Amino acid sequence: MEVGRAADSITETLGRAAREIAKGELVRYVLRTQASERAMARAERVLPLGVASTFQYYEPHPLVMRSAAGARMKDLDEHEYVDFTMGYGALFTGHGHPTLCHAVTEQLARGTLFVSPCEDNTVVAEMLAARFGLPQWRFTNSGTEATMDAIRVARGVTGRPRIVKVEGGYHGHHDPVLVSTKPPRDSAGPPGEPRPVPASEGLAPGVLADTQVVPYNDPEALARALAPGDVACFIVEPVMENIGICKPMPGYLESVREITRHYGTLLLFDEVKTGITASWHGAAGREGVLPDLVAVGKSVGGGLPVGAFGGSNDSMDAITAGRVLHVGTYNGNPLCMAAARAVLGEICTPDETARVIECNSRFVAKCQALLSSRAMPAHAVQCGAKGCITWAPSPVRNYRDYLDTNFDLAFAQWIWGVNRGVLLPPGLDEQWLLSVAHTEADIAFALEVFTEFLDVLADPSRVLELPQNGLGASAGP
Residues acting as catalytic residues: 170, 270, 298
Q: Provide the residue type at 345 as one letter.
A: G
d(CA 141, CA 359): 31
For the chain, the straight-line distance linking the first and the last C-alpha, in angstroms and rounded, comes to 45
Angle among Cα 393, 395, 396 to the nearest 5 degrees reads 115
List C-alpha distances in Å: 259 to 91, 186, 228, 254. 35, 30, 13, 9
Residues 384, 277 contacting (CB under 8 angstroms): yes
- Peptide bond connecting 60 to the previous residue in cis, omega within 30 degrees of 0: yes
Q: How many residues would you count in the chain?
A: 477
The Cβ of residue 430 has, within 10 Å, a number of other Cβ atoms equal to 23
CA 439 to chain centre: 22
Q: Provide the residue type at 191 as one letter.
A: P
d(CA 297, CA 424): 21
Residues 382, 361 contacting (CB under 8 angstroms): yes
Pairing of strands 162-166, 231-236: parallel
